[in-house]
């Protein structure tokens, strides 16, 4: 099965809709995927997170909330498929979901079967209300096996928050990606914590078909939506920095804002083809932390992601709150000979400077990034 050969791209209901997700919204998001060009840009999975469920199983089967999904789940999946998109759903390895709805512990096989019958293409599998004495690997392996046994290719998105180092066993239990941290929220502090601090050192564990997942994108939320996530909001510069890092990290690009109402700044970030190409690069390498310069407890960081064909993507990030910084990437620090002439393409400025040797320096504003594609000349 060739699932997740590049990091999954799509949308998830949690960040904006939380407990209020409905069939109508999911269908509207699917329409917006087509109208806005998100589908053409590669965004594919429409995922319904927690709170789609009724409070009780019926005949041992998970049941939908009839107010939110009056015709059930399958017609919604059919609608998503009719747009050429893929449909995802959410369950949990414990007895209940994090929101307290019935979940899959002890029902792994029947639930996987139900999801396959609904023609689900993606399962996000959470870690709340797990029974004592059963380890995470065992629980995730059970659902991995149950999904495989359905015969339907279903992308398995492990959401265990990194507590038990899922990067060590996620792929063995059939996972195509695994959350490496707790939940992101819509604030600069959260982006720094989850993205810059907690992803360092995790690059060796991911690759084609199995990806580190630093959680969903908060780009375009501007502090509105599910109160558990929508904490204050960010500036467009901060959202662009967030997106740039997620592209370098080969992270799943799961949009969390309401794509039916995106402003131009949000579109420009989420639809930038050169940024997406870095994320989706066929080599499947995860970006790594090259180094930092410290200024009174605030840093400028350099991250690099080797790309197929010998280019590298590099991010020069100014994490400081106060002022512009000069940030330099030395060719030697990313494996290039100092005398090697390279073309440097600045993704957000959409301009190329040719024939650079030794190093490249950019002036980067507070919380901003220079996202570069560095290509050695032949």
Give strand pairing partners of 359.
330
Which residues of 297-338 form beta strands (DSSP E)?
A: 298-306, 312-318, 325-330
Of 11, 14, 107, 331, the one binding ligand GLA (CB under 6 A) is: 14
Q: How far apart are CA 169 and CA 171, in angstroms?
A: 6
- Residues 115-134 touching ligand GLA, rule: CB under 6 A, are 126
Min separation Cβ 123 and ligand GLA, Å: 12
Torsion of CA 350, 351, 356, 361, to 10 degrees: -60
Q: Choose between 256 and 306: whose C-beta lies nearer to ligand GLA.
A: 256
SS3 330: strand
Handedness of CA 152, 29, 257, 265 (dihedral sign): positive
Of 44, 50, 108, 238, the one binding ligand GLA (CB under 6 A) is: 50
Taking phi first (over 0 means left), then psi (-120 to 50 degrees means alpha), and beta for anything else, what does residue 220 get?
Answer: left
Q: Give residue 37's Cα distance to chain centre.
A: 19
Number of chain residues interacting with ligand GLA (CB under 6 A): 9
Does 183 qualify as catalytic in the annotation?
yes
Q: Does 159 bind ligand GLA (CB under 6 A)?
A: yes
Q: Choose between 108 and 160: whose C-beta lies nearer to ligand GLA.
A: 160
- Residues 67-106 touching ligand GLA, rule: CB under 6 A, are 97-99
Min separation Cβ 298 and ligand GLA, Å: 29
Min separation Cβ 122 and ligand GLA, Å: 13
Q: Does 111 bind ligand GLA (CB under 6 A)?
A: no
Of 109, 117, 183, 236, the one binding ligand GLA (CB under 6 A) is: 183
Q: Which of 49, 126, 215, 368 is labelled catalytic? A: 126
SS3 326: strand
Does 50 qualify as catalytic in the annotation?
no
Q: Choose between 7 and 99: whose C-beta lies nearer to ligand GLA.
A: 99
8, 11, 34, 86, 257 from 30: Cα distances, Å? 16, 9, 7, 10, 13
Torsion of CA 202, 208, 214, 218, to 10 degrees: 150
Phi and psi at 130, nearest 5°, equal: -80, 145
Q: Which of 65, 183, 193, 343 is labelled catalytic? A: 183
Q: Does 213 bind ligand GLA (CB under 6 A)?
A: no
SS3 344: strand
Of 44, 49, 111, 121, the one binding ligand GLA (CB under 6 A) is: 49
Find tokens 């375009």 and name the residue.
220
Catalytic positions are: 126, 183
User: Where does this chain bind ligand GLA (CB under 6 A)?
Assistant: 14, 49-50, 97-99, 126, 159, 183
């Amino acid at each position: 099965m060739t699932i997740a050969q590049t990091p999954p791209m799509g949308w998830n209901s949690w960040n904006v809709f939380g407990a209020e997700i409905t069939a109508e919204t999911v269908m509207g998001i699917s329409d917006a995927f087509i109208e806005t060009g998100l589908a053409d840009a590669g965004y594919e999975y429409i995922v319904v997170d927690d709170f789609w469920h009724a409070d009780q199983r019926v005949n041992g089967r998970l049941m939908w909330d009839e107010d939110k999904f009056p015709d059930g789940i399958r017609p919604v999946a059919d609608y998503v498929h009719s747009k050429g998109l893929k449909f995802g759903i959410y369950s949990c390895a414990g007895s209940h979901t994090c929101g307290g709805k019935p979940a899959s512990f002890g029902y792994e096989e029947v639930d996987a079967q139900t999801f396959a019958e609904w023609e689900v293409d993606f399962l996000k599998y959470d870690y709340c209300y797990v029974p004592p004495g059963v380890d995470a690997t065992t629980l995730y392996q059970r659902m991995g096996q149950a999904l495989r046994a359905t015969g339907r290719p279903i992308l398995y998105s492990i959401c265990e928050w990194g507590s038990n180092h899922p990067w060590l066993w996620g792929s063995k239990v059939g996972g195509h990606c695994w959350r490496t941290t707790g939940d992101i929220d819509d604030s600069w502090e959260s982006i720094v914590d989850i993205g810059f601090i907690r992803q360092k050192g995790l690059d060796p564990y991911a690759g084609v078909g199995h990806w580190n997942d630093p959680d969903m994108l908060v780009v375009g939320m501007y502090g509105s939506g599910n109160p558990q996530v929508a904490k204050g909001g960010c500036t467009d510069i901060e959202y662009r920095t967030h997106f740039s890092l997620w592209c370098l990290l080969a992270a799943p690009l799961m949009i969390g804002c309401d794509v039916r109402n995106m402003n131009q700044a949000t579109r420009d970030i989420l639809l930038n083809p050169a940024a997406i190409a870095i994320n989706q690069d066929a080599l499947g390498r995860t970006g790594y932390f090259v180094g930092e310069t410290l200024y009174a407890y605030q840093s400028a960081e350099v991250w690099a992601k080797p790309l197929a064909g010998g280019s590298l993507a590099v991010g020069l990030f100014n994490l400081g709150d106060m002022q512009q910084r000069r940030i330099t990437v030395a060719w030697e620090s990313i494996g290039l000979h100092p005398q090697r002439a390279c073309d440097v393409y600045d993704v957000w400025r959409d301009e190329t400077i040719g024939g650079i040797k030794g190093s490249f320096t950019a002036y980067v504003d507070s919380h901003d990034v220079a996202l570069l594609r560095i290509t050695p000349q032949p």
